[in-house]
Structure 1
Amino acid sequence: MEIGGRIAVIFGGHGFIGSHLARELVASGKYVRVVSADIAPQPRFRSKGVEYIFCDVRSPIPADLAPGVTEIYNLAAVHVTPGPEDWEYYWTNVSGALNVTQYARLARVKTLLFTSSISVYGPSEDEISEFSDPNPESSYGKSKLLAEGIHQSWQLEEPRDRKLVIVRPAVVFGFQERGNFTRLARSLERRAFFYPGRRDTKKACGYVKDLVASLEFARRSEEMLTIYNFAFDEPVTTEGICAAFCRVANLPEPKFTIPISLILLGGLAFELLSKLGLKTPINRARVLKLFRSTNIVPKKLQSDGFVRQFDLVAALRDWRSQSPVGRFE
């Protein structure tokens, strides 16, 4: 039986996942305080009962940030790829891990949950599970793997008393995501999407509400160290994702596939334009991300009996129902 009066601090809590997590922690009725600590000026959306404070995890965190804290969620990260310089990933993701774990020591916190990424595996056509060896290619993935090690070092200092959960999410989508799935939705709405080189690229992904539920599921486990992947049980193809969007929003499905060589040439042209001052999100690295598979499966969640609420179509419908104007906001 869990004792009431819990206090949670969510580092990086103003972001997409953090905003959903904070709302659910308050709604559970198990917390007397839920603190979202972030450098962002505003959260993606506000929830009644959440305290929003400024905190930069790249700097030491005062032990009295939230007196009596019982649980820490470390979601703070530089995660957009491509975009930032290589050093920026390490500065935030590695320094943040060091400062958050040191704060956990000073505040005598025994429970810490950390969001890593499937980027620690790198892209792969072959199936990858928690039993697969990490093989990060990007600075983001490499920095996340280092951060995992820092969190594990904290747990190993007192392995019988400290509980650590590390989740490696695939692409997470939902209300106020403003990322890959939102951009895809806008392209489909404009009838402007075409398949980059192939239609059968496997893209591991999952719904934000199920991710939050999986964190609580893992937190309640008796294991003191849990590392798990988060995604749908079966990776969805790019074509399958587009078909689900079009089914939910009553849109025509995209028909054209453009050779990858032509798209990469176009990406290079946009990169040159960016250097001349015409900023654009299109580049070769982003195109290759669409072309290469992330065939990640959540073996740990499957074996432990986690039951998700949503499949892809149900998740998209739920997301759309939360959007004021009936779009994927």
Structure 2
Amino acid sequence: MSHVLITGANGFVGRALSGALLRGGHATTGLIRQRGGCLTGTQEWVHTGKNYAGLAEAWPAALQVDCVVHLAARVHVMQDVASDPLAEFRATNVDGTLRVARTARAKGVRRMVFVSSIKAIAEADAGRPLREDAPSRPQDPYGQSKYEAEQALIQYGNESGLEIVIVRPPLVYGPGVRANFLRLMTAISKGLPLPLGAIRAKRSLVYVENLADALVHCVTEPRAGGQCFHVADGDDLTVTELAQSLARHLQAPARLLPVPSGWLRLAGRLTGRSAQINRLIGSLQVDTSHIRTVLGWRPPYSTDQGLAATARWYRATH
């Protein structure tokens, strides 16, 4: 069994991954900034150095790790108040990531799994599901920083011998989800009318437990070394279908107004929210055939099962 160090182990994906690894008999250590929040059974290591400054010096002498899964990041935000957002994203998502990689290699770690984002290559699929070798055209500082981190890790891995595995999930949902997905559930549960009844474009999603299962494969499978994988549920839905399914599981009415996409785009331009509207109504499907072929991975849960679990959590906690 492996000993896995997880950055951000007390976060949304980190807790799911810790649980999957522990159930598989692996040892887990969480590298976190504030104590608390890790699953029982995960050893906590608190390091407060900004962007992992001083990580090598702080590494516990007794800590021997086989693989690092790097989840911690400066995440995408809708209204970024930083004076230079790209510089802030680079400091954390590129420089900080490389600092983790270099420290891991110096401490004898053999593999690093980097959880990137589909935003590292695109915001839309241009008519066909995105493969791992699609041209990279990130559209915002977050996506740009994730793409640059991927490239820096690949170069470092080639130079040092550290095995790099890159995973690009689309939108991740599940119990504990935040941001836009949580706001959508809140609006539906309150019975609010939403202009989502006529959206035909499909978007890939990944249930957090499916992502965790895929990451376990990336940690443990020898064939994963040096690979890049897109991971998704495989049951791609339109936003209309997503809202209808959530309403059913939330036991709430689906009050979806059939507003044409053109009208939504116009509203986006008039309100300065074109990027948000385009993400809502545009097609973004990912091709997961590579991880299925190389690692034999199949998502253990369907999208409907994932949405049902997410709705149960919401009803129990809100």
Aligned with 2:227: secondary structure? strand
TM-score, normalisation: structure 1? 0.83
User: Which residue does the alignment assign to 1:288?
Assistant: 278
Identity of aligned residues (%): 21
Aligned with 2:93: secondary structure? helix
Taking the aligned partners of 1:8 and 1:303, their CA distance within structure 2 comes to: 25
Q: Check conservation: 1:204, 1:297, Cα contact below 8 A.
A: no
CA distance 1:193–1:263, change in 2 (3 Å): farther
CA RMSD of aligned residues (A): 2.4
Unpaired runs of 5+ residues, structure 2, are: none
More strand per residue: 1
Q: Check conservation: 1:116, 1:166, Cα contact below 8 A.
A: yes
Shift of 1:155: 1.9
Aligned residues: 303
Taking the aligned partners of 1:163 and 1:112, their CA distance within structure 2 comes to: 6
Aligned with 1:295: secondary structure? coil
Q: Check conservation: 1:248, 1:313, Cα contact below 8 A.
A: no
More helix per residue: 2
Q: Check conservation: 1:196, 1:287, Cα contact below 8 A.
A: no
Q: How does 1:15-34 map to 2 (within 5 A)?
A: 15-31=11-27, 34=28
1:12 aligns with 2:8: yes
CA distance 1:202–1:195, change in 2 (3 Å): farther
Taking the aligned partners of 1:87 and 1:141, their CA distance within structure 2 comes to: 13
1:267 aligns with 2:271: yes
Q: Check conservation: 1:116, 1:148, Cα contact below 8 A.
A: yes
Amino acid at match of 1:318: A
User: Which residue does the alignment assign to 2:148?
Assistant: 146
Shift of 1:251: 2.2
Deviation digits for residues 205-240 of structure 1 (CA, Å, limit 9, x no counterpart): 110101111112233333221110011224321112
Taking the aligned partners of 1:17 and 1:193, their CA distance within structure 2 comes to: 31
Taking the aligned partners of 1:241 and 1:106, their CA distance within structure 2 comes to: 45
User: Which residue does the alignment assign to 1:243?
Assistant: 244
Taking the aligned partners of 2:13 and 2:132, their CA distance within structure 1 comes to: 22
Amino acid at match of 2:123: P
Taking the aligned partners of 2:142 and 2:155, their CA distance within structure 1 comes to: 20
Aligned with 2:127: secondary structure? strand
Shift of 1:62: 2.1
TM-score, normalisation: structure 2? 0.86
Aligned with 1:165: secondary structure? strand
Q: Check conservation: 1:267, 1:287, Cα contact below 8 A.
A: no
Taking the aligned partners of 2:168 and 2:191, their CA distance within structure 1 comes to: 33
Q: Check conservation: 2:69, 2:113, Cα contact below 8 A.
A: yes
Taking the aligned partners of 2:254 and 2:107, their CA distance within structure 1 comes to: 53
Report which stretch shifted further, 111-120 or 148-157.
148-157
CA distance 1:265–1:153, change in 2 (3 Å): closer
Q: Check conservation: 1:199, 1:238, Cα contact below 8 A.
A: yes
Unpaired runs of 5+ residues, structure 1, are: 269-282
Deviation digits for residues 63-108 of structure 1 (CA, Å, limit 9, x no counterpart): 5524212211111111123233332211210111221111112212
User: Which residue does the alignment assign to 2:66?
Assistant: 70
Amino acid at match of 1:151: L
CA distance 1:41–1:196, change in 2 (3 Å): farther
CA distance 1:197–1:122, change in 2 (3 Å): farther
